[in-house]
Amino acid sequence: MLGKTAGGLFWMSRYLERAENTARLLETGQRMALTRTKNSAEEWGSVLKTAGVLDGYHAKYDEISKDNAVDWVLRDADNPSSIKSVIKQARDNARLVRTALTHDVWSAVNSTWMQIDEVMKRRVNERDLPATLELIRQQAALVRGATLGTMLRNDIFDFTRIGTFVERADNTGRILDVKYYVLLPTAFSVGSSLDNIQWESILRSVGAGGGYRMTHGEKTRPSDIAQFLILDQRMPRSLHFCCRKIQENLSYLKKDYGFAGPSCEASNALYKKYLDQKISDIFEFGLHEYIQDFLTDLGNLSRQIEIDYRFYE
């Protein structure tokens, strides 16, 4: 396979995953804003920060308002991480690697772009926002279904999966990075209704409310949430789950190619350093430092993969 093709598959998957995660983030932000009318600017600020688009927003707008924040995250062409921008980039990458995709995967990606492009020609008003976000999630599910159902389990598939899980780990990490303080055991967090809303919102932003209840019951406790998002082995958006998948797919490539670059070892080291742990150790080390270090190492791993498999010249 061409190095460029591996890169195209990797980025196509990252962008699609990012679109879905950003949609979920917006949904959560919208819900938070509806629940606590007072501090809505602060809440939208945290959404922008989690999506990594706060600086860009401030370059365009002075104050944070709900409408502008939603538009910036959803469809602004000046924001390279807006949902519309990333879906366009996912589609461009899919075109680039068209020969590596099945017909079903290609038409799923192409139809996603065609529908999003249509829906986002104009500002999306509040009434239509839920349906728009739902459309993005549905299309992401369609692409995923086509990928799982029609693609050969070969190196093409491996690069697709690696992209998905690098992006997903990054996303879960960012949510924790921005909201870590809510999960810290302090004298004040005694389970007030405000805390509960914050905790719920963290779970909601990774689509894990139901999974959490199934695992830990109806009582939300910050350390359980942290454990669930970081270390749970069955939660498909936990750092543990994502890293396992990255490791797994890199090892398939190693087997398939008969060689492995430094990234394969780096993925094992990442796992060992951050996930072969107890949640109490992580809190002891410091949740915030832990997450920041993890995100840095994940970024380095991603770059090493790009080098090992010759994505670029």
Partner 1 sequence: MSVYFDEMFNGDGSLRGPYEEIGRWFNAEDVSRLRAKQREAEEVFRLTGITFNVYGKAEAEERLIPFDIVPRVISAREWQRLERGIEQRVRAINAFLHDIYHRQEIVRAGRVPAEMIAGNEAFLPQMLGVSPPGQVYTHIVGVDLVRTGPDEFFVLEDNARTPSGVSYMLENRETMLKMFPELFSATNVRNVSDYPRNLRRSLAACAPACADGEPTVAVLTPGIYNSAYYEHAFLADQMAVELVEGHDLRVVDGRVCMRTTRGYTPIDVLYRRVDDDFLDPLNFNPDSALGVPGILDVYRAGGITIANAPGTGIADDKAIYSYMPEIVEFYTGEKPLLQNVPTWRCSDPDSLSYVLDNLSELVVKEVHGSGGYGMLIGPTANKKEISAFRDKLISRPANYIAQPTLSLSTVPIFARSGLAPRHVDLRPFVLVSPEGVKITPGGLTRVALKKGSLVVNSSQGGGTKDTWVLED
By CB under 8 A, name the binding residues for partner 1: 1-6, 92, 95-96, 98-99, 103, 106-107, 110-111, 114, 155, 253, 257, 259, 309-310, 313
Nearest approach in angstroms of CB 59 to partner 1 is 24
Kindly give the residue spans of alpha helices, DSSP state H, lying in 120-208. Answer: 129-150, 155-183, 193-205
Indicate the Cα dihedral angle 169, 166, 164, 16, nearest 10°.
Answer: 80
Six-digit token string for 228: 């669930």
Q: Toward partner 1, which CB reaches closer, 143 or 203?
A: 143
Q: Toward partner 1, which CB reaches closer, 58 or 103?
A: 103
196: left (phi over 0), alpha (psi -120 to 50) or beta: alpha
Nearest approach in angstroms of CB 47 to partner 1 is 28
Nearest approach in angstroms of CB 307 to partner 1 is 11
Q: Toward partner 1, which CB reaches closer, 31 or 98?
A: 98
Q: Toward partner 1, which CB reaches closer, 109 or 229?
A: 109
Nearest approach in angstroms of CB 13 to partner 1 is 16
Q: Note the residue count of the chain.
A: 313
Nearest approach in angstroms of CB 306 to partner 1 is 11
Q: Toward partner 1, which CB reaches closer, 95 or 204?
A: 95
Dist CA 130 CA 111 (whole Å): 20
Q: Which residues contact 124 (CB under 8 A, 6 or more apart)?
A: 70, 71, 74, 75, 132
Indicate the Cα dihedral angle 25, 129, 45, 39, nearest 10°.
Answer: -110
Nearest approach in angstroms of CB 136 to partner 1 is 18
Rg of the chain over all Cα atoms, to the nearest angstrom: 19
Q: Is 44 helix (H, G, I), strand (E, B) or coil?
A: helix
From 269, 75, 105, 237, select the one nearest 172 (Cα to Cα).
237
Q: Toward partner 1, which CB reaches closer, 133 or 166?
A: 166
Q: Toward partner 1, which CB reaches closer, 236 or 261?
A: 261
Nearest approach in angstroms of CB 91 to partner 1 is 9
Dist CA 198 CA 224 (whole Å): 14
